[in-house]
Amino acid sequence: MIDALVLDLGNVLAFHDNEKLFSELARVFGSSREALRERLDGGLWDRVNRGHLPGDSLRQELVARLGREVPVAEWLNLWSCHFTVYDEMVREVERLVGRVRLVLLSNTHDQHIEYLRPRLPVLARFDGLVLSYEVGHVKPEPEIYRRALALARAPAERVAFFDDVARFADAATALGMQGRVFTTAQAFREQLRALRAELVEGVAS
């Protein structure tokens, strides 16, 4: 009864350990995590997610801010060191290919996607990807969800959205989608079964 699934990327298909990322950034740039966070305030991450610092321009920005050169090859490994593919969830999604439309919706950077594509070949089987750096919008802004709904090609109430951040799931619900907070692959399976039951009961009543 669900015609389409819209899935987040981070902590859904691939875990991301932000503490590890900041620890490694601090180590390479010769700083403490606290000092690093302080010096990177001022909307930097929003600019990253909106595509204002694509490709190597992000490395250049950090080098300028932090005063230490980091070679490109070292940077590429550093910037994505915190990702681990969630194999169990990937298998769940692979079983859904062809049964429902699949759309990815993520606040992300182009170099993260370049790193993850070969590690997540299932992304090539999705019906569409809505990536913040490409569309210039970020969750929880309504426009980015509307882009996902357009790719889902289904009424909002028949689209389930899973995100590990509650306010992002709530924003989808506010637009009529079935927003759910993602926790584990097992909980995902249970939530899908419950959603199907809820929709069947709604039609029957």
Total structural domains in the chain? 2
According to the model, what pLDDT value does residue 199 have? 54
Q: Clarify whether residues 108 and 74 are in a common domain.
A: no
129: helix, coil or strand?
Answer: strand
pLDDT in tens, 10-60: 999 999 999 999 999 999 999 888 888 787 777 898 999 999 999 999 999
- pTM for this one? 0.93
Sequence-distant (≥ 6) Cβ neighbours of residue 149 within 8 angstroms: 6, 156, 159, 175, 177
- Domain co-membership, 118 together with 164: yes
How far, in Å, CA of 58 to CA of 86, rounded? 27
In CATH, what number is assigned to the domain containing residue 128?
3.40.50.1000
- If pLDDT is split at 50, 70 and 90, which confidence band does 8 have? very high
pLDDT at site 197: 64
Assess whether 93 and 25 both reside in one domain. Answer: no
Give the Cα separation of 104 and 123 in Å (integer): 8
For residue 42, what pLDDT is reported?
74
pLDDT at 112 over 90: yes
Q: Are residues 194 and 109 in the same domain?
A: yes
Same domain, 8 and 28: no
Q: What is the pLDDT of residues 135-175, one digit of tens each?
A: 999 999 999 999 999 999 999 999 999 999 999 999 999 99
Asked if 113 and 67 sit in the same domain, the reply is: no
- Among 30-39, 82-91, 122-131, 133-142, the range scoring the smallest mean pLDDT is 30-39
Are 116 and 9 within 8 A, CB to CB? yes
**Planar angle of CA 129, 106, 80, nearest 5 degrees:** 105
Which pLDDT belongs to residue 204? 38
- The residue from 79, 98, 119 where one domain ends is 79
CA distance linking residue 138 with residue 167, whole number of Å: 13
Q: List the domain range (segments joined by +) for residue 154.
A: 4-15+85-204
